[in-house]
Amino acid sequence: MSVMMGSPRRTDEGHPDPDAQSDRGTCEHETSSPRYSDEEFDLEDSYTLRNSDDEYESKISSPRSSATEYNRTDPLHGRMQGTYDATNYYPYDAAEDALDSMTSSPPDREESHESTDFAPSESEGTFEVSDVKSRGKEACPLGDISEPNCKELSPKSSDEEKGKSIQPYPRTTWYRCEKKGPPPLPFLAIQLEFIRRDGNDRLKKNDYDGALARYTACITKGQSSLLDPSTSPTCKMLLKRILKLAYSNRAQMHLSGKLWEEVLNDTAKALKFDRHHIQSLIRRGKALHSLQQYKQACQAFGAALDRNPNNLQVAAALHESMTSHHQSVSGKYDLSHFLLYSGPPPECSDYVGPVVIKEVAHAGRGLFVTKKVEAGSLLIVCNALAISSISSSSTNSDLSVRLARLIMKQLKASKRWAHQMYYLTSGKPEQDNQEIPDMKMFIPGSDWCPDPSKDVSLSFLDIARRVTLNTFDASRALFDGQKLESEGKTEPVISSGVWVLPSFLNHSCVPSTGIMFVGKAMFIRAARNLEPGEELTTSYTACYKPNRRKSIRKWSFECRCERCLQDAMLEPYLDELRRELDANYAHFSSKKSTKSEKMDAVIKTIDMIGRVESAIESLPLVLDAQRKNWVRVSFMAVYSNKFHMARTGTDLGQTIQALQQLAAIEQSIYGGGVQYASLRTSSQLLGYVRRKFGKNSEDFRQTLEQVQLEGFNQKRIDQPDGCGEGGKLCPSEEDETDVHICKHFMSYKIETVELEEKRQRPKALVTTVTSLNTRIAIGTKNVMKYLNETIQGSEETEKEIE
Ligand SMILES: C[S@@+](CC[C@H](N)C(=O)[O-])C[C@H]1O[C@@H](n2cnc3c(N)ncnc32)[C@H](O)[C@@H]1O
C-alpha cells in the first residue's frame, strides 16, 4: 500500500488511506478540459488578419454579401452620394472591408496606393502618416491610448480635429492615397482594430499577458467611445464589430487558460453585438461543456452549427455534449470499448443518483441513499477536480502542495467548484462550518446559483488543509501513458486526486459502496442492496490489512462499524495471529522470486490458513458465514497467497478453489462490487476462445453456453420474473448502455488468471468463471447483453484485439 502524504489519503479501492493523503484538485491531468483541443476546430484563425470570422460572415450574411458585391461593381463614392443616409456618412460594409484589408505590418507604399476603394477623400480629410514607419511599433505604449503623442501623426483625422488625443498607433501608411475616394475610416476604429490584431499576434506567440493587455485596452476604449455621443455613427458601427471580435478573441485566450467563466463573460458580450457570431458560439459551447452545463453547451453548438451546417467538428462537439447531457441525467454510460478492449477511458460526465448529504452523529456529514437500491446500482459519477502525480521518491507533502496549487488555479475557473471546495472539511472542527451543501451544486446542469452573500474564498492554506483530508489515491484513475507525462518520466509515481462529492463518504470497514475509475471519473456503486436512508460508506484504508484499525486511527477517529465491533470482541482470540500476520505482511503479500523463498511462503501460508480456520471454529461466538469471512478478510494476504500458489502450480482445480474462496471472502466486504470483475473475465474468456477456436467452433459454442447458462440460472435465482423467452436473457432497453465492469475490486486477482497460460483448457476456465458467477449474488443483469456484444464484434474489432 502506498503511503503518500503526511495526512490521510485513500488507497486501493479508492478509499482514503490514513498513511497517505488524498487530493482532488487541479493538476497535471487537468480535469474538465474540453474533449477537443482548440486546434481541432478552432474555426476562426484568430491570428490571421483577415480571420475566418470575417470571411464567414461575409458568406452567411446575405445583406452584407450583396453589399460587398455591389461595392465591387459600383464605386463606393457614387453609392455614398446616391443612396446612403446622411447620418451614416460612411458605408458600413465598405468600412468593415477597409478594416479587413488592414495588415499587421504596414503595407508598403505601392500597395497602399492600390487601395483606391477605401482611399480617403480630400473632402473628408486625408490621412498622411508617411513618417510613422520609422518610429516603429515599439515606440507606442499600448494600453495608454490617450497618450497625447500624436501630433506628428495624423493631424487630419476627424477625431483629432475635435481636439481628442489619439495614441500614435498604428504607425503605418495605410490610407495614403492621392485618389479621391470615400471618406476616411474613423481613426479611432483603425487604432482599436490595430490593437486587437496586435493582441492576436501576441496570442499566437503565447504572450498571454500581452494579448490580454491589448484586448482589454481595445475593449475599454471601444466601450467608452460607444457611449460617447461625439463618436460618429460610422465609427460606432465599426467599433461594435471590433468589440465583438475583441471579446471573442479574449474569450479564446481565456479558453486556452481554462478560465471557463471568463470565456462565458466575454462570449456573452460578443454575442450581444452579434448573436450569430459563430466563433463566440463555439467558444461558449466549449466553456459550457467544460463547466458541465451540457444542455446550454448543446444550444451554443447547435446555434453555431445552424450557421455552418458543414462543420463536422462542431457537429462532433454537439454530439459529445448531447451524450454528456444524456449521461448526466440518466446515469447510463457505454464503457464497452474501454472495458472489453482496454481502450482509452472515455470521457464521462458527472452523475448524481438518489443520494443526499446529511448530518451524521460523531462523523460530521455523510452521504445517504434516498431510495431502495440494488447492489451494483450506480449512485454517483464524479470527475476529479484535479489529479497530481509525483515520483515516488518525493514526499507526500510535495504532492499535497502540488495539488493545492492546481486546485487554487481550478477554483478561479468556476464558482461552482469554488463553492464545492469550500464545503469540504479541513479536519479542523473549529474552522469548519460543517454546513450541509446544496446537492444541486454537484448536479451537472442544475439551476444552482452561487449565494452572493457567501464568501467562499479560500487561502492556499485552507485549500492545502482540505486537500490533506480529502484526497483519494488516483493511481487507478490514470492509465500508464498519463503518468508523469508532464515530466516525461517513467519511474514509479504516486498519484492523488480530489473528487469532491465522494469526499463526503465516511469510512466503514464493511463499506456499502464500491468504487471504480474510468479515467478521471470515479464511479460509485452500491456494494449491496441498500434501504432508503442507509449511509454510503467507503473504506479509507485497504481493509485486508491486518493492522487496518490502527491505520484508521490516523484519521483521528475510532471506527465503530460492525466488523470493528466484532474484531474488538475477538481480539483476545485472534490477537496473536494478527500480530504474526502483521509482522509478516510484506512476506505474505509480495511474490517471492527464489525457489527457497517460494517454498518458505508455501509452508507459512498453509500453516497460517490452518491456524486462522481453526481459530474461527473455536471462537466462543457462533459466527455466520459472512462474519467468518470478515475474520478471513483480515488475513486476506494468506488466502491470496494460496491463490497465487495454486496458480503457479499445475493443478487447475486448486486454482479454481482458491479463486472461489477469495471471491467469497471479498464479497463479504464488497458485496455486488465483485460482479463486474467476473463479468470482465467472462468477456475476456469468450474473446480468447473466439479468437483461438473461431466463432463457429464447438469450443466457443460450449463456452458461450456454459457462461450463458450460469448467467441465466443466476438471473432466475435473483429475479424470477426477469428471464426472457427461450431460456435467454433479454436485457431491458434501459440496460442497453448500462454495461459496467469493475476494473477494480476482484480484478487485480481475477485478471491474473492468464488466459494464455491455459491455452489448452478453455473449458476448465469457463468453470472457474462461471463458478465465480454463481457465487456472486447479483449482477448478471447485463452479462448477456454484454457478452453478445463481445461475440458479435466486427472483424475490425477482432483485429484490434489480436
Ligand atoms: C473525508 S471526510 C468525510 C466527510 C466528513 N464526515 C465531512 O463532514 O465532511 C473524513 C472525516 O470524516 C470523519 N469520519 C469519517 N468516517 C468516520 C467514521 N466512521 N467515524 C467517525 N468519523 C468519521 C472524520 O472526521 C474524518 O476525518
What is the predicted pLDDT for the residue at 263?
97
C-alpha cell at 592: 517471492
Is the shortest distance between the CB of 506 and ligand 1 below 6 Å? yes
Burial class of 771 by CB neighbour count within 10 A (0 to 12, 13 to 18, 19+): middle
- Nearest residue to 339 (alpha-carbon basis) of 692, 677, 60, 1: 677
Taking the centre of ligand 1 as the mean of its atom positions, its distance from the CA of residue 369, in whole angstroms, is 17
Instruction: Measure the CA–CA gap between 571 and 591, rounded to whole angstroms.
Output: 29
- Domain positions in the chain: 23-37+284-347+384-501, 44-257, 562-801
Instruction: Measure the CA–CA gap between 582 and 548, rounded to whole angstroms.
Output: 10
Which SS3 state, helix, strand or coil, does residue 14 take? coil
**Ligand 1 atom 4 nearest Cα:** 504
- Nearest residue to 31 (alpha-carbon basis) of 421, 342, 466: 421
C-alpha cell at 598: 517460494
Residue whose C-alpha cell reads 475635435 in the numeric block: 162
Which helix or strand (DSSP H or E) is residue 444 part of?
none
Instruction: Measure the CA–CA gap between 107 and 98, rounded to whole angstroms.
Output: 13
Q: For residues 182 and 77, is the Cβ–Cβ distance under 8 A?
A: yes
Q: How far apart are the first and last CA of the chain?
A: 34
Please report the atom of ligand 1 found closest to the CA of residue 508: 19
C-alpha cell at 134: 520609422
Instruction: Measure the CA–CA gap between 539 and 630, rounded to whole angstroms.
Output: 14
Is the shortest distance between the CB of 72 and ligand 1 below 6 Å? no
Q: For residues 282 and 298, is the Cβ–Cβ distance under 8 A?
A: no
What is the predicted pLDDT for the residue at 369?
97
Burial class of 290 by CB neighbour count within 10 A (0 to 12, 13 to 18, 19+): buried
| C-alpha distance from residue 431 to each of 92, 360, 459, 793 (Å) | 60, 18, 13, 56
Specify the DSSP class assigned to residue 739. Answer: B
Consecutive 10-residue runs of the chain (802 residues): their mean pLDDT?
Answer: 40 42 37 35 29 32 28 28 29 56 40 28 29 33 33 40 43 41 72 92 90 95 92 90 96 93 96 95 96 95 94 94 93 66 75 96 93 84 91 80 92 92 83 84 92 89 91 70 44 82 94 82 84 94 80 85 90 86 74 68 84 89 87 85 68 63 72 46 60 74 59 33 28 28 28 34 39 33 38 34 25
Specify the DSSP class assigned to residue 436. Answer: P
Is the shortest distance between the CB of 427 and ligand 1 below 6 Å? yes
Is the shortest distance between the CB of 210 and ligand 1 below 6 Å? no
**Ligand 1 atom 19 nearest Cα:** 507
- Nearest residue to 298 (alpha-carbon basis) of 318, 282, 312: 318
Which SS3 state, helix, strand or coil, does residue 223 take? helix
Q: For residues 699 and 689, is the Cβ–Cβ distance under 8 A?
A: yes
Instruction: Measure the CA–CA gap between 292 and 289, rounded to whole angstroms.
Output: 5
Taking the centre of ligand 1 as the mean of its atom positions, its distance from the CA of residue 417, in whole angstroms, is 21
Which helix or strand (DSSP H or E) is residue 390 part of?
strand 386-391
Which helix or strand (DSSP H or E) is residue 607 part of?
helix 595-617
Cα 249 to the center of its chain, rounded Å: 25
C-alpha cell at 498: 480530489
β-strand pairing of 513-518 with 493-498:
unpaired
Taking the centre of ligand 1 as the mean of its atom positions, its distance from the CA of residue 363, in whole angstroms, is 5
Instruction: Measure the CA–CA gap between 239 and 225, rounded to whole angstroms.
Output: 8
Give me the residues paired with residue 513 across strands: 526
Instruction: Measure the CA–CA gap between 471 and 477, rounded to whole angstroms.
Output: 13
Q: For residues 170 and 132, is the Cβ–Cβ distance under 8 A?
A: yes
Q: What residue type is assigned to position 466 of the chain?
A: R
Q: What region does 445 belong to: left with phi over 0, alpha with psi -120 to 50, or beta? A: left
Q: For residues 735 and 785, is the Cβ–Cβ distance under 8 A?
A: yes
Q: What are phi and psi of 566, to 5 degrees?
A: -65, -45
Please report the atom of ligand 1 found closest to the CA of residue 22: 1
